[in-house]
Amino acid sequence: MVRKSIEKFYLCLIMLFLYAPILTLIVFSFNDSKSRAKWGGFTLKWYQTMLHDPVISKAIYYTLIIALLASVVSTIIGTLAAIGIHVMKRKTKSVILNITYLPVLNADIVTGISFLLFFIAIGLKLGFTSMLIAHITFNIPYVILSILPKLSSLNKHTYEAALDLGAHPMEAVRKVIIPEIMPNIITGFLLAFTLSLDDFVISYFTTGRGVTNLSITIYTMTRRGIKPEINAVSTVLFIAILVLLLIINKRSDRQTKKLGGVNV
């Protein structure tokens, strides 16, 4: 009994630690005063003005468009790569995978700087394109890593059966392999999307004049004081992502239940 309540108390304490800053942000998005410490009454005005602020709305636009483009492109390249890498010889496979892991293992700041130096050396102007290339590059490994384990658990013979029945190899990939790994492709896509949405360090080093995402805007604002509209924007984003995650969770729950039913 005592032990149970100590455990509960500990969980609550850690939860308080993790959620205190988030609650502060959410509460202050309704604060009718620009101060980040004093409460000035309830208001919804930051939610109304957030979309009229040119800096913030531009940042939201770039954040979403880059996250969307980067996750779509990296999902396509990554899925094809995973299918190809899966059937390679052991040695080639391990060399390629080790290089693939590099951006995952390396410090973001080093990856960001390597891009900065590279773009300057090839004479690409820093801005939208450079940031997009960087995002696609750091997303691809996560897509590959979400798909590879599933590929090795697939039944090899279904693919071979499709070939025996006269399917062209590409047709077999499209009609046999892709449908089987679809859940992992979607996981990889969502992972890439959220990573891209939240990235700061790599974007910070690869962007140029006039192109900023939300994280960079926030970082610039921390020197002069955060606009209250930003609190409103992040509250909306946080709730949107929460809903998205709950939907994904529900979906996978249903899938496990279905599978469980089949097994029984």
Residues in 166-205 at the binding interface with another protein, rule: CB under 8 A: 169-170, 173, 194, 198, 200-201, 205
Kindly state whether residue 15 participates in binding another protein, applying the rule CB under 8 A.
yes
Choose the stretch contacting another protein; rule: CB under 8 A; options: 41-49, 51-59, 181-189, 235-243.
235-243
Q: Is 17 in the site for another protein (CB under 8 A)?
A: yes
- 84 binds another protein per the rule CB under 8 A: yes
Confirm if 70 and 142 have CB atoms less than 8 A apart: no
Q: How many residues form the binding site for another protein (CB under 8 A)?
A: 78
The DSSP result for 2-70, as a single string, is HHHHHHHHHHHHHHHHHHHHHHHHHHHTTBSSS-SSS---B--HHHHHTTT-HHHHHHHHHHHHHHHHH
Q: Footprint of another protein on residues 44-73 (CB under 8 A)?
A: none
Helices (H), 87-127: 90-105, 108-122
| Least spacing, CB of residue 84 vs another protein, in Å | 3
**According to the binding rule CB under 8 A, does residue 222 interact with another protein?**
yes
Among 178, 242, 243, 259, binds another protein (CB under 8 A): 242
Which one-letter amino acid corresponds to residue 261?
A: G
Q: What is the DSSP letter of 208?
A: -
Name residues contacting another protein, limited to 24-43 (CB under 8 A): 24-25, 28, 36-38
10 Å CB burial of residue 240 (0-12, 13-18, 19+) is: exposed
Q: What's the closest the beta carbon of residue 233 comes to another protein, in angstroms?
A: 9
